[in-house]
């Protein structure tokens, strides 16, 4: 059983690691104050330190409340399955994006999530992904002129 205490400590560790990464990256730049103002690493360095301090606060608070947090279940088996299903579907979206392109993967992901996870009608499960994908293509490709990852379907349709 996954307890709330373990999740508090895991969250503190991950947040601390992210802050340390920010600090380390900022230290590769100049992170002081120059005559003309803050240098490139000034804000990332300080934000990283703040994030690390927040992580320590999470850990200390969790440690002080460890008795109560150890009794509290964070996720049960059914909830864990739902989270795992969601996480695996996101992983599938990434893999499909790399192989079939962003637009096909997006439409497939939305269809599966709406139809089988959300139990929406067939009409809604087909219409929404197609309209959303078309709108995304219009916004990124035509208006912003920012191409997203394309695959064989877009090439076949002449959109690549």
> What's the confidence (pLDDT) of residue 1?
73
> What's the confidence (pLDDT) of residue 63?
97
Please state, rounded to an integer, the average pLDDT across all residues of the chain.
93
CB contact set of 124 (below 8 Å; sequence gap of 6+)? 114
DSSP string spanning 113-138? IIIIIS---HHHHHHHHHHHHHHHHI
Residue numbers in the chain where pLDDT is lower than 70: none
Query: What is the H or E stretch that residue 75 is in?
Result: strand 73-75
Q: In this predicted model, what pLDDT tens digit does every residue of 130-147 receive, in sequence order?
A: 999 999 999 999 999 999
């Amino acid at each position: 059983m996954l307890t709330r205490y373990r999740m508090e400590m895991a969250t503190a560790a991950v947040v601390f690691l992210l802050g340390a990464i920010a600090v380390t990256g900022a230290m590769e730049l100049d992170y002081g104050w120059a005559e003309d103002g803050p240098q490139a690493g000034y804000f990332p360095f300080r934000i990283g330190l703040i994030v690390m301090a927040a992580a320590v606060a999470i850990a200390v608070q969790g440690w002080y409340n460890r008795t109560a947090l150890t009794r509290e279940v964070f996720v049960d088996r059914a909830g864990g399955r739902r989270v795992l299903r969601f996480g695996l579907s996101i992983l599938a979206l990434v893999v499909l994006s790399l192989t079939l392109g962003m637009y096909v993967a997006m439409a497939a992901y939305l269809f599966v999530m709406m139809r089988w996870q959300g139990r929406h009608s067939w009409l809604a499960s087909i219409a929404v992904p197609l309209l959303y994908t078309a709108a995304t293509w219009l916004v990124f490709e035509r208006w912003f002129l920012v191409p997203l990852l394309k695959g064989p379907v877009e090439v076949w349709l002449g959109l690549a």
